[in-house]
Amino acid sequence: MQRGYYLTPGFHRSLVDMLRWWQHHKNPLTKHRRRRIGFGEGTNIRIFEVQSAATGDGVYNCYEEMLDKTDWIDTGGEDRFYDKNAVSVEVLNLLEHDVEATYARALAIGDRIESYQFTDDEGTSRWVGIPISGGSPVRRAKTTAAAGATTTIVCNLIGNNGVEITSGLGSGITVYCDTEDSANLNSVKPRLINDEEITVYNLNGKWYCSWGFSKWSFCS
């Protein structure tokens, strides 16, 4: 004789209630799980390229970037990214969100920022992010004049493509130098000349030379 199983009315109702609850809540639960997993459907990450300075310290006018299908293999040394359009978008570099009053921007034309949207206190969506190129602690720069009777020197940053930036954002920056006894640059060594490549870094909105300079000593 075939053995069968009997569901009590109470147990049957419990199963029905569980099924109804699952059908009602499964979609919100699925969406909730998707939002919690990494940078999935709930996060909008984009890459922007700096074009010029915008209003506010650390805010830049940028173009959104797209990947180039043809250059994905990159056998010819081509850049994989290109401008999606010529629409200017303001993006805040989070490394410059709180700087000193005397301020020089840390990024230059062509630098890129990985960004996401953040809502301000009035509900406006803003783009904020961290540099992924050009935002390294130490950058290359070229002097625009020989050392003078001061502890600062004017330089142009060297862009990501290795070319000196002679105009616009990244050009004509004032670089502060640490000299022995605060001596002027024209009386210390190494003696900087025009068009000389040095290394610089940006700290709290000011550019500094990573080199140390000592005073000349003469043998008697």
Q: Tell me the whole-structure pTM to 2 decimals.
A: 0.73
Q: Do 83 and 123 fall within a single domain?
A: yes
Q: Please report whether residue 109 resides in a domain.
A: yes
Q: Do 100 and 161 fall within a single domain?
A: no
The reported pLDDT for the residue numbered 30 is 47
Q: Do 148 and 117 fall within a single domain?
A: no
Q: Do 52 and 121 fall within a single domain?
A: yes
Structural domain of 178: 139-215
Mean per-residue pLDDT pooled into runs of 10, the chain (220 residues)? 54 64 56 42 81 91 92 80 94 89 89 95 94 88 97 96 94 96 95 97 92 77
Q: From 171, 168, 51, 165, select the one nearest 112 (Cα to Cα).
A: 51
Q: Do 128 and 50 fall within a single domain?
A: yes
The reported pLDDT for the residue numbered 219 is 57
The reported pLDDT for the residue numbered 11 is 57
Q: Give the integer Cα–Cα distance in Å for 197 and 57.
A: 27
Find out whether 25 and 17 touch, Cβ atoms under 8 Å.
no
Q: Do 75 and 126 fall within a single domain?
A: yes
**Tokens 């301000």 -> residue:** 120
Q: Where does a domain end: 133, 168, 198?
A: 133
Q: Where does a domain end: 63, 98, 133?
A: 133
